[in-house]
Structure 1
Amino acid sequence: MGTMRYRSHLAELKTTLSAHQLEVLNSEMVRLHKSALTAYALWLVLSWFGVHHFYLERPWKAIAYILAFTVGAAGLVLGFLLSWVMDETWSLAFRGAAVGGGLVLAGWWFVDLVTLHKQVERYNEEMEAQVIEALREPGGPPRPEQRSRPWPLYLNN
């Protein structure tokens, strides 16, 4: 669904909420909201370790960043160390791994530079949709064993 259509869909869903439910939605969004400024700060300082993806609760993507960084760094170190000890073939193989890991990481880094604000916006919209759906459920918010995120106690009433 396009961003504008998704936002209008969220706006429509909000019109079905009571005043109390809107208050709860607003308080939950204050708690769950992620900042693009914080995401970019994390990207700028610690992006090679994928910390900005941990912030946006996407651990698998962050782990992929860590793996690419590890492959690149290990390949670089081993490539230079092995050039003194072993034949040049192994050294070149490890240097190739370093270049490959570095190129993958640089590509992801650039994509995040251009799209991180949209990623944060999408995260916030998804959280808002989840809270609205939980508030609209006939039985109230889901029980603790049914949800993946911590839920405030006042929603369990």
Structure 2
Amino acid sequence: MGLTTEERILIEQHVTNSAKSPAAAYLLWFFLGWAGIHRFYLGRMGSGLAMLLLNVIGGLTVVFIVGFFLLGIWALWWIVDLFLISGMIDAQKNEIRARLTQQALAGENRS
């Protein structure tokens, strides 16, 4: 049996309350994106750390020319993230929604 309308509304309210703020994510991208902070905020710890290290190592090795290459990769990644942030937030909402739906259905099956 499926979820009732009330259960669906409660799930959507929980998703809305738990979701990350797009405004906060874009502000973090703009002001602290050099450190990958927007990715940490969105729960992407590994790629946030990679972005931070890429920028720091690139900055430290710029005198050896290889730093320009690393900073170029970082800059491209930073620009691409501008377009990926909304998808990351949508993916997080879908994960929350799926988890809550599964929990509601599991609770219904126990009754």
TM-score (norm 1): 0.60
Give the RMSD, CA atoms, in angstroms.
Answer: 2.2
The aligned runs of 1:62-101 (5 Å cut-off) are 62-76=48-62, 79=63, 94-96=64-66, 98-101=67-70
Hey, what's the Cα distance between the residues in 2 that align with 1:101 and 1:21?
Answer: 49
Name which of 39, 43, 54 aligns with 2:29. Answer: 43
Please list the CA deviations of residues 100-147 of structure 1 after superposition, one character each: whole Å capped at 9, or x if unmatched.
Answer: 22011011111111222222222212221122112212488xxxxxxx
- Matches of 1:119 and 1:23 in 2, distance apart? 23
Would you tell me which structure has more helix in proportion to its own residues? 2
Match of 1:136 among 99, 102, 105: 105
AA partner of residue 135 (structure 1): A
Give the match for residue 154 of structure 1: none
> Which letter maps to 1:124?
K
Say which of 64, 73, 90 aligns to 1:104.
Answer: 73
Percent same amino acid among aligned pairs? Answer: 25
Q: Matches of 1:55 and 1:99 in 2, distance apart?
A: 27
Structure 2: where are the runs of 5+ without partners? none
Distance between the aligned counterparts of 1:48 and 1:103, measured in 2? Answer: 12
Counterpart AA for 2:25? A
Deviation at 1:26, TM superposition (A): 3.4
Partner amino acid for 2:65? R
The answer as to whether partners of 2:12 and 2:97 remain within 8 angstroms in 1 is no
Bigger mean CA deviation after superposition, 66-75 or 125-134: 125-134
CA distance in 2, matches of 1:36, 1:62: 17
Within 1, Cα distance between the matches of 2:94 and 2:51? Answer: 24
Structure 1 position 50, deviation (Å): 0.9
- Which amino acid counterpart does residue 50 of structure 1 have in structure 2? G
Match of 2:85 in 1: 116
TM-score, normalization by structure 2? 0.82
2:101 is the alignment partner of 1:127: no
Aligned-pair CA distance for 1:58:
0.9
Q: Which has the higher contact order (CA 8 A, sep 6+)?
A: 2
Aligned-residue offset at 1:43: 0.4
In the alignment, what sits opposite 1:56?
42
Larger Rg: 1
